Amino acid sequence: MVGFQVLQRQAFASSADVERFRSLPVANISDAMNRLSGGGAGLRPLHRQGLLIGPALTVRTRPGDNLMVHKAFEMVVPGDVVVIDAGSDLTNALIGEMMIDYVRRKGAAGVVVNGAVRDLAAISAGEFPVFAAGVTHRGPYKDGPGEVNVPVSIGGMLVNPGDLVIGDDDGLITVALADIDVVHAAASAKFAAEQAQMEKIAAGTIDKSWIDAQLIAMGCPGVEKRTDAA
């Protein structure tokens, strides 16, 4: 029944995929995906520190209700990232300290809540990755409906069950299963190029002539073409 169902994932990112992406910044992955994907600037890491990365176990729930979140937590296998779409509603917290400790002990790699959480002091003191849109003390209901392992939208970013979810201090991004290899190659190349640029900055050999060249090409007044003597 659409809107009230529990499904199983048919495929998901492997532990090898997780390890390949672990050292890549979200910003480089985003650049490799032409900056068209992202979990929304409002979804922020609330934990003290630590990378969020793993295959998505998705939940779509009615705002303010966490019945299906509890069911999804029961289905977690080690390494999963539980991605909860509550429609960005901040009226009620969907999870708090007890549920987070429970799913952490089951081996989850983190939780993303497109909605609110509570018990911020406990979350912010720990290293278990929690991303959320907001915080409120008001607790949830447990009436349903909801769905587990269906496509969800998190801040405009589509997340399919099993997709690779990555989150760092800059935010969240999802890599679709079919795109993992090509995105990894492009993001790795971007990361290597930026490291080379950083080395040139440190050595004072960075070439910034492209700035004036771009402005001249765009017809910007007041910018003169540089000569060899310059």
Is 96 among the annotated ligand-binding positions?
Answer: yes
The whole-angstrom separation of Cα 163 and Cα 37 is 13
Is 1 among the annotated ligand-binding positions?
Answer: no
Instruction: Of 31, 4, 13, give the one whose Cα is nearest residue 160.
Output: 13
Q: How far is CA 2 from CA 72, 74, 92, 153, in A?
A: 17, 21, 24, 16
Is 60 among the annotated ligand-binding positions?
Answer: no
From the number of C-beta atoms within 10 Å of its C-beta (0-12, 13-18, 19+), residue 217 rates as: exposed
Beta strands in the chain (DSSP E): 4-6, 44-45, 52-61, 81-85, 93-95, 110-117, 130-135, 146-148, 152-154, 157-159, 164-168, 171-175
Spatial neighbors of 178 by CB under 8 A, at least 6 apart, are: none
Spatial neighbors of 12 by CB under 8 A, at least 6 apart, are: 55, 56, 161, 162, 163, 177
The whole-angstrom separation of Cα 191 and Cα 211 is 22
Is 226 among the annotated ligand-binding positions?
Answer: no
Is 97 among the annotated ligand-binding positions?
Answer: yes
Spatial neighbors of 105 by CB under 8 A, at least 6 apart, are: none
Is 198 among the annotated ligand-binding positions?
Answer: no
Beta bridge partners of residue 107, listed in sequence order = none
Summarize the annotated binding site for substrate as residue ranges: 96-99, 118
Q: Which residues are annotated as a binding site for Mg(2+)?
A: 119
User: Which residues contribute to the annotated binding site?
Assistant: 96-99, 118-119
